[in-house]
Structure 1
Amino acid sequence: MKYLLFTIFLFTLVTGLHGQKKFELKSPDGKLAATVSAGSQVSYSVSYEGDILLKPSSLSMELDKGVTWGRDSKLQNAKTSSVRQEIDAHFYKRNKITDHYNELTLHFRENFSLIFRAYNEGIAYRFVSTGTRDIIVKNEEASFNFDKDYSAYVPYVKGKFKDTESQFFNSFENEYTYAPLSRMNRDKLAFTPLVVCLDKGRKICLAESDLESYPGMFLSNKTGSLSLSSSFAPYPAAAEQGGHNQLQQLVTSRQPYIAKSKAKSRFPWRIIIVSAKDKELADNDMVYKLASPTRLTDLSWIKPGKVAWEWWNHWGLSNVDFEAGVNNDTYKAYIDFASKNKIEYVILDEGWAVNLKADMFSIVPEIDLKNLVAYANSKNVGLILWAGYYAFERDMERVCRHYSEMGIKGFKIDFMDRDDQQMVDFHYRAAVTAAKYKMLVDFHGTYKPTGINRTYPNVINFEAVHGLEQMKWTGPELDQVTYDVTMPFIRMVAGPVDYTQGAMRNATKRTHRGINDEPMSQGTRCRQLAEYVIFESPLNMLCDSPTSYEKEQECTNFISAVPTVWDNTVALDGKIGQYLSIARRKADVWYVGALTNWDARKLELDLSFLDEGDYMAEVYRDGANANRIASDYKKETIAVPSNRKLTVSMAQGGGFAMKIYKK
C-alpha cells in the first residue's frame, strides 16, 4: 500500500539574497537533511545529526542550444510529498522492501524539474525533462564537496591508459585504493560505487540508479582538492569490430555530447548513501528502490539457481575415458554432476562457437547442441550459452528466437566493456529481447548494476567485480582476501555480483599460485562456503570441476543447498577491509556467513533475529590447521545457544558458514 501526503513540514523555505531560495528536506527519522539552494547556481549540501557531510555541491546539465539546467534557472514552484510503501522485490536479497522517503520537487521555467528524496539511509536527486522537444545533453555536472581531506576506497579504472578517453573502454573489474581525497590519482577515472570515510565512523557511498538511455557516471579528482566530480563517456560517433576474438566494438570517434534524450526523459538518480556503521552498507536497498519498477507482467518462467561451470576449472575432469574439453562428452559429465546435485544449470562458456567469426550460429564440430539440450532436459538441467557481445548484438532477435526454440535457457553476454549511452541502450534491448523469448541474461564484462534487474528481472546477474577468475593467473602479489571483505560494502551496494566462487583447492597467502589448469583460491575452504551466503548472486556459479566436488561431497552438499534468492537479509557486523558477517533467510531456514581478512579473528555473532524456539545449526568452521593447510575445515551440528550469542573463530583468510533450522 502506498501513502502519499502533501505536507508543509517536510522542508523549510528561506529566501536569501538576490532571490536565492533554500529548501531543507529531512529524512523520515529526521537525522539526515539535504539543503537545496536554487539561485544563479543550483547546489545542495548534506548533513547528518547536525554534522555537515557534504558542503554545498553544484549540479547542472548542459544542453544543446546554449541551455544549461541548474545555472541561472528560474524556479517556478516547489512541491513536497511523503511516501511510505512496500515494494515486492524479485530475485533479490529480500522479498519485501520498505520504501519510505520525503520528496522535494523543484519545477523550473526552463522545462525541467529537479527531484530530491531523503531516505533514512541516504539522499538522492535526479533531473527530469518536462518540455516537449528532444534534447542533446552535452555534459552533466555532479559534484561532491567534502569539508576535510577524508580517505576513500577508490575503484580506479584498471590498466594503463594514455588519456581519459581511453579509460572509457575497460572491463569494470577493479581493486580498491585507499587514499586521502587530495592524493587521488589525478589522471585516473574511478567508477561508482565509491566510499568516503568520514568522522565518527560514518561513511558516504556514492552510487547511481535507473541508468537508462544515458551513460554511466565516473568520478575523478583532477585538482587534488577535497571534491569529486563526474565524468561521462561521450556518445560514440563511429566504432569498428575488434578487441577480444573480434567480439567487441571499439569506439574510434565520439560526438561532442554524452546523450541524445527524448522529451520527458527521467535522468539517472545520483545517490549519496550515508551509513553510521559499516555493516549498513552491506545491506542497503537504495539502488533497487530507485530503479524503475518491473515492466514484465509474467515472471513465472524466471528461475534463479546455480550453475555448474567449466571455464574456471579448465574443463578439469579426471578419471573419465575421454579427453575433457569443448565436446559433448565433457558437457554431459557436467550435466550428470548438476543433475545428481540438484544444480539447475550448466553453462557452455567461450569455445562452443567457432572462434574469430563473431557468429552464434557457427558451432564447433565437437558440439552437438540439440543433442546436449535433449540430454540436459532428460536430467532436469537447463543450459546457458556464453555469448560475445558483438556476436549477440549483430543478430539479437534471431539469436534469441533460435536458441529459445532449441531449449536454451539464457545467455552469459560478455565483453561489452563500455557504459556510454549506446552501450547502456544495448543492455536494455538485450533484456527486452531475451524476455520476449523467456530467456535469462547474465551480463559479464559490463558496468555495475544500476537497477535494470528490477526493471527487467530476467537480467539475473552482473560481473563488474574482481572475481575469483583473477586467481587463475595471479599469485600472492594480488590480495584477493582483503578485496573479499571490501567489495561487499562498496560494489555490492549496486546489486548482485557474478563473482564465481566455490574453489575446492584452497591456499594460504604463502602457497597461492596462479595455475590455469588447476586453479586455486586464496583463503580457506570455509571462506569459499561462506561466500555463497555473503555474496548476492541470484545465478550463482560453482567454479570448480565435478571431479573436485565429488571428492568433497560434504562441501558440495552445502553449496548445492544454499538458496540464491532470499526472503530476508540481516547484516550482523562488519568493518570495511577487515571482516563481515551476514544472515539470510529462505522460508524458515537461516544461513549465516562470515569472512575475515588475513587476520585470524574471533567474532561474536548476534543471532537475535531468530524467532522464539529451539534451533539447531549445521556449522562449517576453519580447521585447527587452516592457517597452514587452507582446505582444513570441520563440520559439526550444534544447538543454538538460548542467549542467541555464538562466538566463532576464523583462520587467516578464513570464513565461517552455518545453516540454522528449528529443532
Structure 2
Amino acid sequence: MKNCTGILAALILLLSGTCIGQVKSSYEVTSPDSKTKLFIGLNGQKDLLYRVSFNGEELTAWSKLGLVINTVKIGENTTIVHGWRSAHKESFAWSLGENDHISNNYNQLTLGCSSSALAFHIVVRVFNGSVAFRYELPQQSSLKSARISSEQTEFNMKNPYTIYQYNQESVFTPTPIDSLNSTCDFPATLVSKHHRYVSIGEADNHNYFKSELVKGKLSNSLSMIFHSALNHRDEESITKKSPSVFFSGQFQSPWRTISIAENAIGLHQASELNLKLTAPTSAKWPTGIKPGKLVRSQLNTQSGIDAVNFAASHNFQYVLFDAGWYGAEFRTTSDPEKVIPQLDLQRVIQEGKQKDIGIVLYVNAVGLRMKLDTLLPLYKKWGVSGLKFGFVDGLTQKGISWLDTAIRKVNQYGFVLDIHDNYKPTGLSRRYPFLLTQEGIRGDENSPDAFHNTVLPFTRFLAGPADFTFCYPNSKNNFSKNLKVSKAQQLALSVIYFSPLQSIFWYGTPLDYTNEPEIDFFTRVPTVWNESRYLAGEIGENISVARRQGGNWYIGSAAGLNDWTTTLKLDFLTDKKLYTATVYEDDQLNGIRIRKIRVKKNDIFSIEIKAKCGQAIIISPEKI
C-alpha cells in the first residue's frame, strides 16, 4: 500500500565517508525485524550511493548506483525529487516449492530522482536478512529510443571476502575478491573470515541482458558487466555492437539483491527471495500443474512403453523423449512436427494416459524459434504433457525477452516446462507457474565431484530449482565416467536439491534397474514439500537438509571431500509421536545398507559419513 508522503522529512546525518566521497545525508530503510538496514543518499558530487548494515555491523561501504542510458549517467549529478514509503506484509500459498506458504514481508522506499533532466526511480525493499533494489524509467520523450550500455551498480564490501566464482555450468573456484580475474554469475556467494555469508543475486529478469560480477575499482569491491562485455570495460570503447539493453518508453531493470547470514545454512532463507520479488500475472492459481519425477526413454516405441510401465510402478509422473525424437536437433531440416519412424509416439502417449503418466518432449532452440506457435496447439492435440527447451539463449536481451514470451505461451497452453543449458531462474515461476525447473547447473551429465555437490546448495540453488539430471548405477552399468560420489550421496541429493520436476536415472534404461530395494527411495521421495529445514552444513564441506510432505520427513546428508561426523536434533518431529526412520547408507562395498530405527521428537541422531558419501532417511509416523 503506497502512501505518498512527499519529500521524506527525516534525513539522517552520516559522519563516515569513503574514497568515493562523503555522503552528506541519506534515507534509511529497515527490515521488519530491524536487523537489516539499507541507507541511500547523495555525496557532495551528487552521486547516488547506498550501503547496507546487518546486526549493527556495516556490510557494504558506500557503493554507486546507476545506469548509462543514451550516454547519460543516471545516478550521477542526481537530484532526489520526492520519496514514498510503504510496508508490505503477506503470505501466499506456493504448492510448487520447498514450503507450501511463503511469507513476503518488507519495508519499501521509492525515490523519484533526476539526472541531466532524465527522470528515474530507485525502488528499495528491505526484508529480514535481505535487501533488493531496482531501477525504473517512467515514460518520457527522451526515452522513445533508448539504449542502456552499462550498469554502474557496485558492491563495495566492507571486509575482505572470498567469492565462489563460476559461470553457467562450470566448476566453482573460491577466489579472494581482490584476485578475481574473470566474471562470476548470479547468484554469487561470498564468505569472509569473520564468518559472514553473503549472496548477491538477481530477480525478475525477463527483458534485460545477462549480467555478471567482476572485480571492482576499490579494494574488496565488485561491479557489474553485461555478458561478453569483459573486453569493453573501458567506456570509450563501448560501441553499438557491445552488449546493450534497448527499450522504448518505460522500463524496469531486474532486481539486484543482497542476502546476509551468520552461517552457511542461514543463506537458505534467500532461496525464496526471487519469488517474492516477482509479481504473479493472476491471483487465481492455474489448474493442472503436476510436479513429479521424470525418466528418460530411448527413442523407440518399445522403450517408450517400458519407460511408461517403469514410471507407473515406481511413482514417477513423466517420461521424456529427449534430443533426436524428431531427427538431428541442430538441423533446420529436422521437423519437431514429425516423429522419427522408430517411434510410435501416439501409442506411447495413449499407454501413458492409461497409467496417468505424462509425456514430455524435448525441442531444440532451432525448432522452437521456427515453429513454437504451431507446435503448442499441435502438441496439445497429440496429448503431450510438457516440454523441455534445449540450447536456448539465456545470455542476451534478445534471447531472454524471447524466452519470456515463449514461457508465457507454454504456460497458457498448460504444458509443464523444463528449460535446459545456460538458463538460470530469477523468479519467473511466480509469473508462469508451469515453469517447473531449469538447468543452469553442472549436473551429473558433467561429472561433478563431492566438493561441487556440497557447494551447490549454498550457491546456485539460492536462485531457484535446478534439474540436476541424476545418474544412478544399475546392474549393467556403474556410470563411473559420470559419478564421482557414492550411491547413498545420489539418494541424499534428491532431497538436498530442490526441483518440482526431477530427472532421475538420466543414463541407463528402466529395464536395467533391478536393484529394487535401493531405488525404492526414489519411488518414495516427493519433489515438492510442505516444509523444509537446513539442519547443518558448510560450503564445499557437507550439507544436511530435512523436508516434510504430509506426515513424513525426509533427510538428505552429504559429505564433501572429507569424512563428516555430526549430530542432528530431531526437534522438528511432532511431540508425543513415535516414528520409524528408514536409513539408506553406503555399505562401503559399493552397495546400499538399509536399516530401521525408532525415533521421536528431540532425539539426537548421529551421522558418520565417509568422504564423497551420503545418507538418506525417511521418517514416518508409526500407525497406532
Q: TM-score scaled to structure 2, two decimals? A: 0.89
Structure 2 CA distance, aligned partners of 1:505 and 1:224?
53
- Report what 1:309 is aligned to: 296
User: CA, structure 1 residues 3+344, in 2 after alignment: closer, same or farther (shift >3 Å)?
Assistant: farther
User: CA, structure 1 residues 287+211, in 2 after alignment: closer, same or farther (shift >3 Å)?
Assistant: same
Between 1:372-381 and 1:12-21, the stretch displaced more is: 12-21
Helix, strand or coil at the partner of 1:282: helix
- Report what 2:426 is aligned to: 450
How do residues 451-530 of structure 1 correspond to structure 2 at under 5 angstroms?
Answer: 451-471=427-447, 480-504=449-473, 513-514=480-481, 520-530=482-492
Check if 1:603 corresponds to 2:599.
no
- Report what 1:154 is aligned to: 165
- Report what 2:252 is aligned to: 266
Aligned-partner residue type, residue 100 of structure 2: N
Helix, strand or coil at the partner of 1:85: strand
- Give yes or no for contact 2:314–2:523 (8 Å, CA) kept in 1: yes
Helix, strand or coil at the partner of 2:252: coil
- Give yes or no for contact 2:580–2:620 (8 Å, CA) kept in 1: yes
- Give yes or no for contact 2:569–2:602 (8 Å, CA) kept in 1: no
Check if 1:92 corresponds to 2:91.
no
- Report what 2:536 is aligned to: 573
Helix, strand or coil at the partner of 1:638: strand
Helix, strand or coil at the partner of 1:394: helix
Structure 1 CA distance, aligned partners of 2:123 and 2:358?
44
Aligned-partner residue type, residue 647 of structure 1: S
The Cα shift of 1:305 comes to: 0.5
- Give yes or no for contact 1:126–1:269 (8 Å, CA) kept in 2: yes
The Cα shift of 1:216 comes to: 2.1
Structure 2 CA distance, aligned partners of 1:576 and 1:99?
27
Aligned-partner residue type, residue 606 of structure 1: K
The Cα shift of 1:129 comes to: 1.5
Cα deviations by residue, 1:146-169 (Å, 9 ceiling, x for unpaired): 2333211111x3xxxxxxxxxxxx
- Report what 1:166 is aligned to: none
Aligned-partner residue type, residue 350 of structure 2: A
Check if 1:299 corresponds to 2:286.
yes
Cα deviations by residue, 1:404-462 (Å, 9 ceiling, x for unpaired): 11011111101124421111112211111112221111000132100111110111101
Check if 1:193 corresponds to 2:187.
yes
How do residues 282-293 of structure 1 correspond to structure 2 at under 5 angstroms?
Answer: 282-284=268-270, 285-293=272-280
Check if 1:117 corresponds to 2:125.
yes
Cα deviations by residue, 1:581-618 (Å, 9 ceiling, x for unpaired): 11111122211111111222222112212221223233
- Give yes or no for contact 2:573–2:601 (8 Å, CA) kept in 1: no
The Cα shift of 1:14 comes to: 3.3
- Give yes or no for contact 1:442–1:462 (8 Å, CA) kept in 2: yes
Structure 1 CA distance, aligned partners of 2:202 and 2:310?
40
Between 1:380-389 and 1:219-228, the stretch displaced more is: 219-228
Helix, strand or coil at the partner of 1:636: strand
Structure 2 CA distance, aligned partners of 1:450 and 1:207?
9
- Give yes or no for contact 1:383–1:408 (8 Å, CA) kept in 2: yes
Helix, strand or coil at the partner of 1:201: coil
Structure 2 CA distance, aligned partners of 1:435 and 1:296?
15
Q: Which runs of 5 or more structure 1 residues have no equivalent in the other structure? A: 158-171, 236-252, 316-325, 472-478, 515-519
Helix, strand or coil at the partner of 1:486: helix
User: CA, structure 1 residues 418+18, in 2 after alignment: closer, same or farther (shift >3 Å)?
Assistant: closer
Check if 1:54 corresponds to 2:60.
yes
User: CA, structure 1 residues 412+19, in 2 after alignment: closer, same or farther (shift >3 Å)?
Assistant: closer
Structure 1 CA distance, aligned partners of 2:112 and 2:7?
17
- Report what 1:63 is aligned to: 69
Aligned-partner residue type, residue 350 of structure 1: A
- Report what 1:161 is aligned to: none
- Report what 2:519 is aligned to: 556
Aligned-partner residue type, residue 446 of structure 2: Q
Structure 1 CA distance, aligned partners of 2:321 and 2:55?
52
Cα deviations by residue, 1:282-316 (Å, 9 ceiling, x for unpaired): 34221221122244845211111110124xxxx5x
Aligned-partner residue type, residue 622 of structure 1: E
- Report what 2:177 is aligned to: 181
The Cα shift of 1:200 comes to: 2.8
- Report what 1:72 is aligned to: 77
Helix, strand or coil at the partner of 1:405: helix
Cα deviations by residue, 1:86-113 (Å, 9 ceiling, x for unpaired): 1222411111111111212111143211
- Report what 2:137 is aligned to: 129
- Give yes or no for contact 1:620–1:657 (8 Å, CA) kept in 2: yes
User: CA, structure 1 residues 384+465, in 2 after alignment: closer, same or farther (shift >3 Å)?
Assistant: same
Cα deviations by residue, 1:360-396 (Å, 9 ceiling, x for unpaired): 1243221222222122222221100111112112111
How do residues 135-150 of structure 1 correspond to structure 2 at under 5 angstroms?
Answer: 135-150=146-161
Structure 2 CA distance, aligned partners of 1:19 and 1:148?
20
- Report what 2:388 is aligned to: 412
- Report what 1:637 is aligned to: 596
Aligned-partner residue type, residue 53 of structure 2: S
The Cα shift of 1:642 comes to: 4.7
- Give yes or no for contact 1:212–1:267 (8 Å, CA) kept in 2: no
Aligned-partner residue type, residue 366 of structure 1: Q
Structure 1 CA distance, aligned partners of 2:6 and 2:532?
33
Question: What is the aligned counterpart of 1:540 among 502, 513, 525?
Answer: 502
The Cα shift of 1:38 comes to: 2.6
Helix, strand or coil at the partner of 2:307: helix
Structure 2 CA distance, aligned partners of 1:527 and 1:297?
39
Cα deviations by residue, 1:69-124 (Å, 9 ceiling, x for unpaired): 21112111122222221122241111111111121211114321101111111111
Between 1:547-556 and 1:53-62, the stretch displaced more is: 547-556
How do residues 264-413 of structure 1 correspond to structure 2 at under 5 angstroms?
Answer: 264-284=250-270, 285-295=272-282, 297-310=284-297, 315=298, 326-355=299-328, 356=331, 357-413=333-389
Aligned-partner residue type, residue 121 of structure 2: S
Check if 1:214 corresponds to 2:213.
no
Cα deviations by residue, 1:156-194 (Å, 9 ceiling, x for unpaired): x3xxxxxxxxxxxxxx21211012111112xx2221111
The Cα shift of 1:536 comes to: 0.5
Q: TM-score scaled to structure 1, two decimals? A: 0.84
Structure 2 CA distance, aligned partners of 1:77 and 1:303?
46
User: CA, structure 1 residues 120+288, in 2 after alignment: closer, same or farther (shift >3 Å)?
Assistant: same
Aligned-partner residue type, residue 349 of structure 1: D
- Give yes or no for contact 2:486–2:586 (8 Å, CA) kept in 1: no
Between 1:491-500 and 1:6-15, the stretch displaced more is: 6-15
Check if 1:205 corresponds to 2:168.
no
- Give yes or no for contact 1:308–1:347 (8 Å, CA) kept in 2: yes
Check if 1:646 corresponds to 2:605.
yes
User: CA, structure 1 residues 223+43, in 2 after alignment: closer, same or farther (shift >3 Å)?
Assistant: closer
Structure 1 CA distance, aligned partners of 2:379 and 2:288?
16
- Give yes or no for contact 1:137–1:257 (8 Å, CA) kept in 2: no
- Report what 1:660 is aligned to: 619
User: CA, structure 1 residues 18+602, in 2 after alignment: closer, same or farther (shift >3 Å)?
Assistant: closer
Helix, strand or coil at the partner of 2:312: helix
- Give yes or no for contact 2:82–2:113 (8 Å, CA) kept in 1: yes
Structure 2 CA distance, aligned partners of 1:10 and 1:638?
63
Cα deviations by residue, 1:198-222 (Å, 9 ceiling, x for unpaired): 2431111110001121112111127
Aligned-partner residue type, residue 530 of structure 1: A
Structure 2 CA distance, aligned partners of 1:604 and 1:372?
48
